[in-house]
Amino acid sequence: MSEAVTCDVAIVGSGAGGGTVAAALAPLVGDGLRVVVFEQGPRLRDDEFDGGELTMAPVLYEDGGGFLTADGTMTLAFGRVYGGSTVVYTGTSLVAPERVIRGWRVPGLLASDLAERSAKYMQQNNVHLLSPEEINDNNRLFAEGCHAAGFTAEQFPINVRGCVGSSLCNLGCPNAAKQGTHRVQLPAAETQGVEVVTRAEVLRVDPQKLRVRVSEKPPGGKGEPSTWAPGEYDVRARVIVAAGGSVGTSALLLRSGLRARLPRLGHGFTCHPAFILVAEHAQPITNWVGHPKSFFLDRAEEEGFVLETCMYFPFTTAKNLTGLGTEHAAMMQAFERLQMILVLACDRPVEENRIEVDRSGRPVVHYTFTPAVVESLAAATRAAARIFFGAGAVRVHAPTADPHIITREDTERLDERITAEHFVPGTTSVSAAHLMGGCGMGGSAASSVCDAWGRVHGVPWLRVADSSLFPDALQINPYLTVMALADRTAEAVRRDLPELSMVAAT
């Protein structure tokens, strides 16, 4: 037996998309409307962010951060908590490149409009550049290595307030410094009367109706209990905004039977496949303190890759190093001397790469590494190796080389040592956190799922406000663009609401 609930706007997801829509629509509550956000994960208290890999990953990420593609060759990381993936990213805040938005060719979508909306959220979330004294060795060496190798590193604007350099961004900031939607947009929305229901999984959508299952807090688990009693609910709403992320929103619409009218649903998936490169220096460097991601090298347009500074925790680093045994152990024992770079390939949509659901409605992501992606990963590794050695590293661990360890004596042979043929799916550890596509924008239901305002073609009561809207890879970190697109979705909801009355219940 399910309980019936009625509201005006139901929002599925509380991350960059859902949190933005919630805040943008919050003034409607003052007009007497009811706005409810449903978040599958829990709401954590500040004192529950303890920075532990084993304690935080299971509560912050879908499948504890171990969600695998269908063939098991890539790990996909996405948040499942109050604030979504804005809780677990590093706060890097970049405006969408004009050339990319122009290349999307979405009717009615202009890069200048996204830039203007992005600027609003950069101000709300205190986006700024760190001062030189806040840059640790790991980041400083990247900039110096880029200069030595003939590249120009750019500094990431980041959205922190009072950062003390714990370097634990990917496990949820333990110092409440990162300004995700859990710190800015959601609290502002709740202050104005928006309801946020956590531990609430949306099972399916039907015309102006959601089936929602609220779970009980597990014994000893982190997070607050849901404000709704455990059980199933039928939630009726004039408008439903799906903002569960690329995988979550696509899977929700697929298991709700919308593929029949939207043939492109689940297609167009891209994710910036990535892996970690490490290099050993002769002396210890500051790597595990300080903000982990301050610089990047954008070679997307020229060579199809982006390099970013990074610092991952021992378990994650160990998992990402190719090889086993003595060589692997020696690299891990040098942890305090390791410099790290994240390699990201700018993939493009292909038919093989798509989101489906299994018989139980769980998402299944099919992904094949195209030759272009593999070549980009190899080219990125060669560039990273030159940066490492330019910064003074004595040896580099390169998964697209055989053997994997490259020393300074090899610097003249990097093109020969690091090649695409050494990339072996399933052996080279690859992960992705920039999940995009599945409900791409476009001009018609034959070629896309949504229009430029997040309106699902032919389904006036259903909107989308997350990275599933991207018709192609963004080629930079996506969260700020998600917020800008969500702002457009919210604007369209406000504009269309007077015409969207509730149909009679069936």
Q: Is residue 378 a contact partner of residue 419, using CB atoms and an 8 Å limit? A: yes
Residue 103: helix, strand or coil by DSSP? helix
> Given this model, what pLDDT does residue 328 score?
86
> Given this model, what pLDDT does residue 506 score?
52
Q: Is residue 19 a contact partner of residue 189, using CB atoms and an 8 Å limit? A: yes
**Cβ atoms within 10 Å, residue 334:** 17
Residue 505 in this model has a pLDDT that exceeds 70: no
Please compute the mean of the pLDDT values over residues 61-83 and round it to a whole number.
95
pLDDT level of residue 275 (50, 70, 90 thresholds): very high
> Given this model, what pLDDT does residue 228 score?
98
> Given this model, what pLDDT does residue 400 score?
86
DSSP string covering 187-237: HHHHHTT-EEE-SEEEEEEETTEEEEEEPPPPTT-SSBPPSSPSEEEEEEE
Residue 245 in this model has a pLDDT that exceeds 90: yes
pLDDT level of residue 312 (50, 70, 90 thresholds): confident
Predicted TM-score of the model (pTM): 0.96
> Given this model, what pLDDT does residue 503 score?
67
Distances (CA, A) of 489 to 21, 395, 431: 7, 49, 30
Cα dihedral 480, 483, 485, 487 sign: negative
Q: Which of 345-359, 362-376, 400-414 has the lowest mean pLDDT?
A: 400-414
Please compute the mean of the pLDDT values over residues 59-66 and round it to a whole number.
93
Please compute the mean of the pLDDT values over residues 431-460 and round it to a whole number.
97
Residue pLDDT, tens place only, 171-184: 999 999 999 999 99
DSSP string covering 11-71: EE--SHHHHHHHHHHTHHHHTT--EEEE-SSPBPPGGG----HHHHHHHHBGGGGTEE-TT
**Token reading at 141:** 């060496």
**Cβ atoms within 10 Å, residue 357:** 18
Distance CA 401, CA 339 (A): 18
Please compute the mean of the pLDDT values over residues 55-76 and round it to a whole number.
95
Distances (CA, A) of 215 to 188, 202, 258, 451, 476: 25, 11, 26, 34, 36
Q: In this prediction, what percent of the chain has a pLDDT beyond 70?
A: 99
In eight-state DSSP terms, residue 10 is E
Alpha helix stretches (DSSP H) within 360-429:
371-390, 414-417
Please compute the mean of the pLDDT values over residues 443-466 and round it to a whole number.
98
Average pLDDT, rounded, for the chain: 95
Cα dihedral 5, 6, 7, 8 sign: positive
**Which residues, 6 or more positions from 92, have their beta carbon under 8 angstroms from its beta carbon?**
156, 157, 158, 293, 296, 308, 477, 479
State the Cα angle at 346 between 341 and 347, rounded to 5°: 130
